[in-house]
Structure 1
Amino acid sequence: MLSLKTLPYLHRQPHSPFVSLRSRSSSFSFSAPTMASAVEHVVLFKVRDSTDPSVVDSMVTHLRSLSSLPGVAHLSAGPLLRPRSAAAAPFTHLLHSRYASKGDLASYAADPAHLAIVRDRVLPICDDIVALDWVADGVAPAPVPPGSAARLTLAKLNEGAAPGQVVEAMAAARAKGYDVSYGENFSPARAKGYSLGFLAVFPSVEAIDAIEGGEAEALKEKVRPLLESVIVADFVVSAPPAASL
């Protein structure tokens, strides 16, 4: 996680609906297949307007180099393609990384290389940072294809709104065939009150544009009354850095 502190963790365990069957001569045990899950880590950066472009490029290059750290299943970093909500407008860059477990995320967060990049390359040029982590059930801890387009949505609930209502809408998006990851944030320290994360991945920028209106708009209308604020931003998944010889 892009933070100088390790944050607390919690995790839901999948329930197995299968039972053991026994006979006089032998015993057979059946168990449900383990549901795949990934730990998602997203960070939005607001780079100071006056920053020299070469310094910004250096920050991005160093962030991408973190993909080589142990336990990192996927890491993409770069400029936002475009903000899709007023709350997203101040942000300029994004990092998305994926892990097989919270332990892997904790190791990444504490790695000296990560801490050095945060200290030397990120904090000196960023006016604001928002970071969320969530467990995405049904998502494999695998890389996202470079060149894919993705839409990140971070939701801050109105007081008294139930997270389950928003999660139901997110689940509906998956049911319609979208490649989505969603969950409740478990790292509040840098989340600025945003408690739910939603990431939808598409094969291209054209594909992400094609979802505007129709069913996507109906989903937005369903959850809009529940939200105090929402950050929506599109980005293109970066290629992993070339290996040095």
Structure 2
Amino acid sequence: MMVCHKALSSPHHHHLPTLRRRLHRSSGGGSALRIPSAAAAMSSSAAAVTTPIEHIVLIKVRPEAADSGAAAAMVSALQALSAQVPGLAHIHAGPVLRLGSPAAAALGPTHVLHSRYATEDDLHAYAAHPAHVAAVGAHVAPNALDATAVDWVNAAPAPSPLAPGAVVRLTLAKAKDGVAPGEVVEVVTAATQAAAELMGAEVRFGVSFGENFSPARAKGYQFGMVVVFDSVEELDAVEGNEKVLEARAGVRSRLDDVLVLDFVVGAC
């Protein structure tokens, strides 16, 4: 798998919602979130890829596509969009590392596409671009049994840079009846900040999360989050940490359905 980054010369922060601006001010313009050391080693142009618009597609490919190499060709075609679509700041396509929840196992995605954009206009331009349309028509549509897609504007007060070899924990969630997705975002903000402070220097991670604004293919998922770690070992250390579990409990109490999976960012 390949992953490519493009520098963004002028991120359009006027597209961010009021919530994100308020969260940023409340943190004093900074954050206690630890950015992965692998990401810190990236070039300044690659680090600029940490844009506010996240696009996730979970794809369940046909077994025969995996066996024949068609799935690998699909990944290559999607990765090639990096050089073909203006405004595409980051793209990764590749297999799922592991499914981490019953909802993920039930959905059964085998591959994930993760891309980032400075604005929603860039995301819409990507969706309509002839190269993207051709890749979907030739490789995704004939080989996919199912696809789930979510988009969100990053509400985290700090970005989550991505570097080759980074391990990403993706969470999609549905709020319980009576709980607004915006409320979940606020609770996640507090819980993430608390977890970062509790973990201290034990584990480094970056976070992006927000409310889904594209419900058509989201299967009811209202909220998305990616947490970026240097390695599987660091992710697993967080997973078993009592302090982090305690911080997470307040979030999970507001959620009705949670899909969790992990994937590894490929090398350029």
* Alignment partner of 1:195 is 2:222: yes
Alignment of 1:73-84 (within 5 A): 73-84=89-100
Deviation of the 1:192 alpha carbon = 0.8
Q: How many pairs align? A: 214
Deviation of the 1:233 alpha carbon = 0.4
Contact 1:170 1:198 in 2 (8 A): no
Separation in 1 of the partners of 2:247 and 2:171? 13
Match of 2:78 in 1: 63
User: Pairwise CA RMSD of aligned residues?
Assistant: 2.3
* Alignment partner of 1:230 is 2:258: yes
Q: Which protein has the bigger helix share?
A: 2
Larger Rg: 1
Secondary structure of 1:238's partner? Answer: coil
Deviating above 6 A after TM superposition, structure 1's stretches of 4 or more consecutive aligned residues are none
Match of 1:45 in 2: 59
Deviation of the 1:210 alpha carbon = 0.9
Secondary structure of 1:176's partner? Answer: helix
Match of 1:12 in 2: 17
Separation in 1 of the partners of 2:255 and 2:239? 20
Separation in 2 of the partners of 1:114 and 1:221? 39
> In the alignment, residue 192 of structure 2 is paired with which amino acid?
A
Deviation of the 1:11 alpha carbon = 4.7
Range that drifts further, 220-229 or 50-59: 220-229
Q: Which protein has the bigger strand share?
A: 1
Deviation of the 1:143 alpha carbon = 5.7
Alignment of 1:206-221 (within 5 A): 206-213=233-240, 214-221=242-249
Residues 53 and 205 (structure 1), Cα distance of their counterparts in 2 relative to 1, 3 Å cut: farther
Residues 222 and 143 (structure 1), Cα distance of their counterparts in 2 relative to 1, 3 Å cut: closer
Deviation of the 1:54 alpha carbon = 0.6
Contact 2:158 2:206 in 1 (8 A): no
Separation in 2 of the partners of 1:38 and 1:239? 22
> In the alignment, residue 229 of structure 1 is paired with which amino acid?
D
Secondary structure of 1:98's partner? Answer: strand
Contact 1:169 1:219 in 2 (8 A): no
> In the alignment, residue 138 of structure 2 is paired with which amino acid?
D
Residues 139 and 63 (structure 1), Cα distance of their counterparts in 2 relative to 1, 3 Å cut: farther
* Alignment partner of 1:166 is 2:178: no
Residues 108 and 143 (structure 1), Cα distance of their counterparts in 2 relative to 1, 3 Å cut: farther
**Equivalent position to 1:121, from 135, 139, 143:** 139
Separation in 2 of the partners of 1:50 and 1:237? 25
TM-score by length of 1: 0.79
Contact 2:79 2:93 in 1 (8 A): yes
Residues 53 and 156 (structure 1), Cα distance of their counterparts in 2 relative to 1, 3 Å cut: farther
Contact 1:73 1:143 in 2 (8 A): no
* Alignment partner of 1:134 is 2:134: no
Secondary structure of 2:87's partner? Answer: coil
Secondary structure of 1:166's partner? Answer: helix
Separation in 2 of the partners of 1:100 and 1:40? 9
TM-score by length of 2: 0.73
Alignment of 1:138-153 (within 5 A): 138-139=157-158, 144-153=162-171
Contiguous gaps of at least 5 residues in structure 2: 1-14, 30-49, 197-204
Secondary structure of 2:63's partner? Answer: coil
Match of 1:156 in 2: 174
- Give aligned-pair identity as a percent: 48
